[in-house]
């Protein structure tokens, strides 16, 4: 883009913003144009009353003649009625067109949002995204159109009234125009006056939304650490910040209206003085003077409101800029132009000298080389923060590698479509996300086309059949937001059933049982064993039996592949890291043969106070607790799963 072109568009932000919005306007351009054009006669008809006062004053007031102006009251009523009908039509079209534009823009925003990779959410807050989606989208569309409608109405009202001024006296009109120019000149500085404050206000409201979300999501942490006062102070400080910024914006712009009022009053005084002299000299009639003064007084209202419209339109322009900052944000992880579908996996998955950095210059993984054959189970162990979860998150391209390559049957995963790659991989996390809805709806996310027999098989393999049958509504029971009405083990098994229904040849298990007690872990582990059958599996686990039964074990420490081999081979290494880790963490664990029996799940007779019709399960003290209602924000959880 040339420097001259940059200067051109920066100097005409109005055209630039509407050009950006044109793709959303195009499908309804006729109605959008009509909603704008209809404002022209609405504004122009404001001049009718002032115009008709000239013949009325000259004929009736001065000439005492009642014969000729009989039509004036009829015309005034007729024009006012037409203006009212047009006002209704314009308001309806404005709401309809604004709503359509807002809906289209929000669809595009959501399309972009779901395409972002976890790295984007690592750097953004939920409050910022919510603010862009709700406040900015509404302000950019419905708000902009409504303000533009009012702006055009008042502009044409002003033009029509100025026409009446010149019709009555060009001498008085020149004085009035000079005064009006002085009155409206400060409007050109409005954007510069408020731009920095509007940006700061958006940041403060974003932080306010984030705090709202965190208060809801982290209510248990707030209670357990007695953070009520801390959260209140934090929230109140943000409210004060928003209040102060709002007052500051008012302080910078509110003077425009009284300034215009003062300047126009000077113009009115000059017009009265000069008009009196022109009447005495016979240059204008009394009717000209009355019509002129009426038009000048009526002109004050649209001009005064134009200042408010200019401020509001600038708010809308800034919202458009923030919206397109998000829409124009690049997608670092996307399909190549020549990407092809990933065929069936037949041989192996190879991590070839893989390097990865969350922050440039600070590698998290360093030259990892691994080859996993089809049907093989690879267990990843190592100290916390060593890079295990990061490694498996690279396979479905939640993040892209910084160096090296990951190949499936010799094909770089960056050369295949994301959809086909992720279709071949099922992931079960430590804290799986369940969506608001029923158990059936959550399981069907693995395969929306699954039959009832497929669902029944998935429930059986996930050891959910008895539990589901005990529910009042069975598989169609609502589970609440994020599965809040289910216990930790039940949520894991729903996630496993979802992964089982997907029937992906590659399974990634990222600490899928680490947050559960022994009884819950045992039954979930049996479900995981079913999921792993005839699959290529990457498993990050703390359970001894899972690790020992893996075909090979990879020790990842400080971002490097420290050791690789079977359990026996690694235990044979004197002073080996796996052996030391085993002796510290695994030696005292019970194996699958000695673990406790699975718990039995049932609902007590009483209803859950939080959800009538759904009962919470009860069990002996040693059994699985009745649910981790851990309400971390959705965006924070998504980022946290891979770090």
* Confidence (pLDDT) at 190: 66
Give Rg (Cα) of the chain.
35
* Confidence (pLDDT) at 331: 82
Domain shared by 508 and 537, yes or no: yes
How many angstroms separate the CA atoms of 60 and 584, rounded?
108
Helix (H) or strand (E) holding 366: strand 362-373
Domain shared by 25 and 155, yes or no: yes
Close Cβ partners of 580 (under 8 Å, ≥ 6 residues apart): none
* Confidence (pLDDT) at 68: 61
Domain shared by 369 and 463, yes or no: yes
Q: Residue with structure tokens 């930790």? A: 488
Domain shared by 271 and 353, yes or no: no
- CATH value at residue 565: 3.40.50.300
- 256 within 8 A of 184, measured Cβ to Cβ: no
Residue 5 falls inside a structural domain = no
**Which phi and psi angles does 228 have, rounded to 5°?**
-60, -50
pLDDT tens for each residue of 339-380 = 999 988 989 999 999 999 988 888 999 999 999 999 999 999
Whole-number Cα distances in Å, 363 to 382, 396, 497 = 17, 20, 35
Residue 6 falls inside a structural domain = no
Residue 192 falls inside a structural domain = yes
Domain that holds residue 74: 12-327
- CATH value at residue 114: 1.20.1560.10
What are 148's strand-pairing partners?
none
* Confidence (pLDDT) at 423: 92
Residue 341 falls inside a structural domain = no
Mean pLDDT by 10 residues, the chain (643 residues): 38 69 90 91 88 81 66 83 91 89 90 83 79 83 78 89 91 87 75 72 79 72 74 86 85 79 84 89 88 87 76 79 86 87 91 91 92 92 86 92 93 92 89 87 91 91 89 90 84 89 90 67 79 88 75 91 92 88 67 42 34 36 37 34 32
Domain shared by 253 and 369, yes or no: no
Domain shared by 193 and 46, yes or no: yes
Domain shared by 310 and 359, yes or no: no
- 301 within 8 A of 250, measured Cβ to Cβ: no
Domain shared by 183 and 76, yes or no: yes
Domain shared by 271 and 134, yes or no: yes
Domain shared by 494 and 533, yes or no: yes
How many angstroms separate the CA atoms of 430 and 350, rounded?
25
> Which of 78, 260, 258, 83 minimizes the C-alpha distance to 157?
83
Domain shared by 295 and 380, yes or no: no
Domain shared by 484 and 592, yes or no: yes
* Confidence (pLDDT) at 602: 32
Residue 424 falls inside a structural domain = no
* Confidence (pLDDT) at 430: 77
- 426 within 8 A of 501, measured Cβ to Cβ: no
- 93 within 8 A of 31, measured Cβ to Cβ: yes
Residue 245 falls inside a structural domain = yes
Q: What is the pTM of this model?
A: 0.72
Question: How many structural domains is the chain composed of?
Answer: 2
* Confidence (pLDDT) at 66: 65
Residue 189 falls inside a structural domain = yes
Q: What does the longest C-alpha to C-alpha distance in the chain come to?
A: 122
Q: DSSP per residue over 446-493, as a string?
A: G-TT--HHHHHHHHHHTT-HHHHHTSTTGGG-B--GGGTTS-HHHHHH
Residue 177 falls inside a structural domain = yes
């Amino acid at each position: 883009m040339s420097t001259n072109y940059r200067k051109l568009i920066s100097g005409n932000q109005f055209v630039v913003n509407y050009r950006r919005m044109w793709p959303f306007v195009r499908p309804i351009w006729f109605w959008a144009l009509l909603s704008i054009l209809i404002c022209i006669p609405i504004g122009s008809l404001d001049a009718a009353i002032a115009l008709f006062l000239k013949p009325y004053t000259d004929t009736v007031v001065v000439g005492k003649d009642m014969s000729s102006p009989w039509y004036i009251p009829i015309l005034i009523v007729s024009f006012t009625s037409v203006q009212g009908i047009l006002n209704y039509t314009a308001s309806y079209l404005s709401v309809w067109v604004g709503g359509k534009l807002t809906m289209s823009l929000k669809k595009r925003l959501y399309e972009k949002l779901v395409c972002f990779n976890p790295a984007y959410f690592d750097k953004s807050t939920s409050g910022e995204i919510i603010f862009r989606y709700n406040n900015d989208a509404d302000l950019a569309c419905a708000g902009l159109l409504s303000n533009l409608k009012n702006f055009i109405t008042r502009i044409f009202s002003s033009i029509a009234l100025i026409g009446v001024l010149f019709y009555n006296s060009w001498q008085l009109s020149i004085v009035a125009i000079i005064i009006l120019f002085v009155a409206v000149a400060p409007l050109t500085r409005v954007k510069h006056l408020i731009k920095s404050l509007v940006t700061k206000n958006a940041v403060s409201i974003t932080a306010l939304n984030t705090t709202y979300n965190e208060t809801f999501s982290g209510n248990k942490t707030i209670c357990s650490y007695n953070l009520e006062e801390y959260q209140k102070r934090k929230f109140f400080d943000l409210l004060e910040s928003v209040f102060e910024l709002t007052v500051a914006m008012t302080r910078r712009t509110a003077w425009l209206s009284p300034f215009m009022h003062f300047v126009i009053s000077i113009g009115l005084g000059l017009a009265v003085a000069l008009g009196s002299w022109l009447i005495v000299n016979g240059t204008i009639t009394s009717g000209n003077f009355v019509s002129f003064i009426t038009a000048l007084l009526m002109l004050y209202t649209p001009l005064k409101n134009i200042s408010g419209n200019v401020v509001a339109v600038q708010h809308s322009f800034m919202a458009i800029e923030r919206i397109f900052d998000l829409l124009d944000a690049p997608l670092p992880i996307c399909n190549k132009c020549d990407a092809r579908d990933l065929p069936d996996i037949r041989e192996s998955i190879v991590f070839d000298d893989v390097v990865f950095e969350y922050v440039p210059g600070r590698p998290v993984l360093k030259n990892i080389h691994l080859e996993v054959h089809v049907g093989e189970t690879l267990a990843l162990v190592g100290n916390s923060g060593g890079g295990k979860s990061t490694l498996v998150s690279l396979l479905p391209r939640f993040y892209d590698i910084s160096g090296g390559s990951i190949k499936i049957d010799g094909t770089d995963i960056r050369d295949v479509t994301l959809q086909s790659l992720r279709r071949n991989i099922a992931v079960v996390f430590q804290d799986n996300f369940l969506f608001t809805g029923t158990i059936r709806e959550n399981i069907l996310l693995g395969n929306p086309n699954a039959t009832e027999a497929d669902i029944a098989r998935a429930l059986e393999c996930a050891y959910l059949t008895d539990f589901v049958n005990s529910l009042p509504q069975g598989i169609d029971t609502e589970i609440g937001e994020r599965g809040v009405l289910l216990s930790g083990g039940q949520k894991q098994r729903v996630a496993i059933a979802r992964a089982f229904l997907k029937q992906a040849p590659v399974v990634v298990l990222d600490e899928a049982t680490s947050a559960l007690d022994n009884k819950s872990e045992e039954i979930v582990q049996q479900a995981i064993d079913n999921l792993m059958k005839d699959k290529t599996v990457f498993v990050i686990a703390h359970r001894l039996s899972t690790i020992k039964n893996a075909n090979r074990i990879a020790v990842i420490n400080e971002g490097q592949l420290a050791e690789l081999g079977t359990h026996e081979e690694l235990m044979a290494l004197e002073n080996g890291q796996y052996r030391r880790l085993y002796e510290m963490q695994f030696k005292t664990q019970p194996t699958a043969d000695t673990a406790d029996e699975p718990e039995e799940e049932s609902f007590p007779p009483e209803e859950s106070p939080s959800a009538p019709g759904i009962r919470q399960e009860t069990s002996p003290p040693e059994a699985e607790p009745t649910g981790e209602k851990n309400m971390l924000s959705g965006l924070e959880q998504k980022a946290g799963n891979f770090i």
